[in-house]
Structure 1
Amino acid sequence: MNFPELHNQWISFSTIVSLFGLLALYGSAFVPNALQRVFRYGKTANDENQPNKPNLISIPKKSAKHHLCPLLTPVSIHRWFFHFYVFATLFYAALLVIVLRVYLFRQSVPKLLALTLDTVVGRHRRSSVSPESVLVAMCLLQLQVSRRLYECTQLSVYARDGKMALIHYLCGFSFYFGVGLSLLAEASGFQSTNGSSRDLILRNLCLPNHVIGVSLFLFFSFVQFKSHVILAELRKDSKGRVVTYGHSIPNGHWFEYVSCPHYLAEILIYLCLSLVLSGRSSYWWLVCSFVVANQVVVGLFNHKWYLQHFHNYPKHRKAVFPFVL
């Protein structure tokens, strides 16, 4: 079976999200409800024209009380998209182990991963990203999904009736799978041929692009974490107990400038990883393009919802980018 190259898939996904997302946002009267549900989830999904109509392609964003994992305490209400982060954490951990084995112990790329890269990305891919950059970026990516898993299971407080489209659920897994492959798509030593270098030079781990990229990554990760803390505290009392599942206007930190600073931070986090990769990975730039398109569209939906439901909502706030959009 022949799969389209990952390069073309990222371009297609970015185009679809941008065009149909904006159409669903600004031309909802001309867009079928089934298509709108692909882009509406969480609080924005409750604004559908027929909210009580059964939706066969929607699933609950939260799951029932979990008894299988000690991390999933009954204090938290968990959305199904925490499954994304479980998958991503395990998948990226496996990729990180492979990267370490290839670069530190000069072992060959596992046949299954090599076959997957050859099939999904293509056999004739270039070697443009150094082993040091790949290792640093892989560690940061692992840190990002692990933090998000913690936030979903231990920090965030989600509405009881949140829903998302089944296609959105499936695309979540596809996204994190594609991100992992994209990071290795042009990694030195992961090509079918043996001509690319697998030598890890430790002093190159402290190159300026790595130091700056890691520093900015950690800063924007804190911004995203802080944003999630503020959103969670809107539903808790001073003792940390959940007292409501309703929606309120978030204030403080970057919320003073945009409605969705966590989406802005997500965009900047992925751009930081591109800096770590020295901007040499065309596949990672395509990942960033998709992240920008997706976060902007979702941010615009949320911003519009806030304006419609809170008449005293700060008029100076933008959706995602301060003073711009």
Structure 2
Amino acid sequence: MEVLNSIIYLLMEWNLSMLMFIVYFVIISVSGTLINFVRNWVPLPHAFIQAFKFGKMAHTAQVNALVAHLEVPKRWFMHFYIFASVIVTVAIMQMWTLYVMRSPLPAWASLTLDVLSTPHRKPTVYFLAVNVTTAALGLSLLAAQIYRRLYENLFISVFSSGRINILHYIVGHTHYLGAVILLVSEAPGFDGEEQDVSISGVTYLQIVGTLVCFFGFAIQNKSLRLLAALRKHHGKKVTEKHIMPQGGMFEVVSCPHMMAEVLVYLGILLILQRHTGWIIVTLWVISNQIQVAVMNHKWYQEIFKDYPRKRRAIFPFLL
């Protein structure tokens, strides 16, 4: 028991969730840059490329048998959102208990936040504290994103028989757990200090952030419906063939659904303002979406010889 307490104490000295996102940000930035921009001049190990690329972009040259055994079906993406739905629902229930029922945070919830973030999770003097309205609105929009993505995975998206590396699968689960933990970790009542939990008025910046999120919701849903329609006829799956997407924001970017993901997290960042943890989460999301979008864009250009030159990878007229 003493050893277990020592381990827990050691873990509490580190903000594990923030450290995880920093590591993810560095890995995706370095690996994505190597594969997207350096590989044409410097040969990279095939096992490394195979582990990083997935789905339609999957690396097929000199396939490594060990890496191949560490792959799972791409359609398991839906597991991310099933797991995330449970996590964010628990967080919402705890927030309701704190802010509406005025009951203290349970010991197990405090311990979880202490271990997965840190007991010392008050923002520094250089950052703004998160108030009740800000935290509740940010968590509600993140929950809406998760619930909507679960619905889209279950009832809209048509997955191919492609596969993803087990590391992608693990990252998908830990992303949502870490995002929820970091979002609430600095919120009043969750930050380990006794303070007022009264609801304040909504600011103009919070309204703008909410509108940005809803804009992202709409773009992502429309884009995923257009992608699904390429493989459906009268609502039923008829093919797994990859067809050049057209319509909507696909006319200007190859991956509008990834641009929309960035918009959602930026919208929540506008609401949370200088929330220390959410800045790291947003940087990771932006880096990840850019690197994957660039890979998709290059794949489209290689496969479809008449691919529109005016299209960018993820941000209209920019990248």
TM-score (norm 2): 0.89
Paired amino acid for 1:281: H
Are 1:257 and 2:263 matched, yes or no?
Answer: no
Are 1:119 and 2:124 matched, yes or no?
Answer: no
Look up the match of 2:25: 14
Look up the match of 2:48: 35
Paired amino acid for 1:153: L
Paired amino acid for 2:88: Y
**Count of aligned positions:** 300
Name the stretch that deviates more: 176-185 or 106-115.
106-115
Instruction: For 1:61-140, list aligned pairs within 5 A.
Output: 61=74, 79-126=75-122, 128-140=129-141
User: How many Å separate the matches in 1 of 2:43 and 2:277?
Assistant: 34
Paired amino acid for 1:250: P
Gaps of 5+ in 1: 62-78
Q: Secondary structure at the match of 1:30?
A: coil
Structure 1 or 2: more helix by fraction: 2
Paired amino acid for 1:188: P
Are 1:56 and 2:31 matched, yes or no?
Answer: no
User: How many Å separate the matches in 2 of 1:39 and 1:315?
Assistant: 26
Look up the match of 2:184: 184
Q: CA deviation at 1:15?
A: 1.1
Task: Describe the shift of the 1:53–1:8 C-alpha distance in structure 2 as closer, same or farther (beyond 3 A).
Answer: closer
User: How many Å separate the matches in 2 of 1:270 and 1:254?
Assistant: 19
Look up the match of 2:4: none
Gaps of 5+ in 2: 1-6, 124-128
Match of 2:216 among 186, 208, 220: 220
Look up the match of 2:171: 171
Q: Is the 8 A contact 1:24 1:35 kept in 2?
A: no
Q: Is the 8 A contact 1:217 1:269 kept in 2?
A: yes
Q: CA deviation at 1:83?
A: 0.4
Paired amino acid for 1:199: S
1:50-75 per-position Cα deviation (integer Å, ceiling 9, x unaligned): 358561211122xxxxxxxxxxxxxx
Paired amino acid for 2:178: G
User: How many Å separate the matches in 1 of 2:63 and 2:151?
Assistant: 31
Look up the match of 2:145: 144
Paired amino acid for 1:311: K
TM-score (norm 1): 0.88
Q: Secondary structure at the match of 2:133?
A: helix
Q: Percent identity?
A: 35
Q: CA deviation at 1:210?
A: 2.5
Q: Secondary structure at the match of 2:164?
A: strand
Q: Is the 8 A contact 2:85 2:143 kept in 1?
A: yes
Q: CA deviation at 1:154?
A: 0.5
Task: Describe the shift of the 1:197–1:48 C-alpha distance in structure 2 as closer, same or farther (beyond 3 A).
Answer: farther
User: How many Å separate the matches in 2 of 1:193 and 1:213?
Assistant: 27
Task: Describe the shift of the 1:247–1:23 C-alpha distance in structure 2 as closer, same or farther (beyond 3 A).
Answer: same
Are 1:274 and 2:269 matched, yes or no?
Answer: yes
Q: CA deviation at 1:141?
A: 1.1
User: How many Å separate the matches in 2 of 1:9 and 1:90?
Assistant: 21
Paired amino acid for 1:50: Q
RMSD: 1.6
User: How many Å separate the matches in 2 of 1:319 and 1:148?
Assistant: 22
Q: CA deviation at 1:104?
A: 1.1
User: How many Å separate the matches in 1 of 2:188 and 2:86?
Assistant: 23
Q: Secondary structure at the match of 2:72?
A: strand
User: How many Å separate the matches in 2 of 1:263 and 1:299?
Assistant: 7
User: How many Å separate the matches in 2 of 1:113 and 1:31?
Assistant: 44
User: How many Å separate the matches in 2 of 1:122 and 1:173?
Assistant: 20
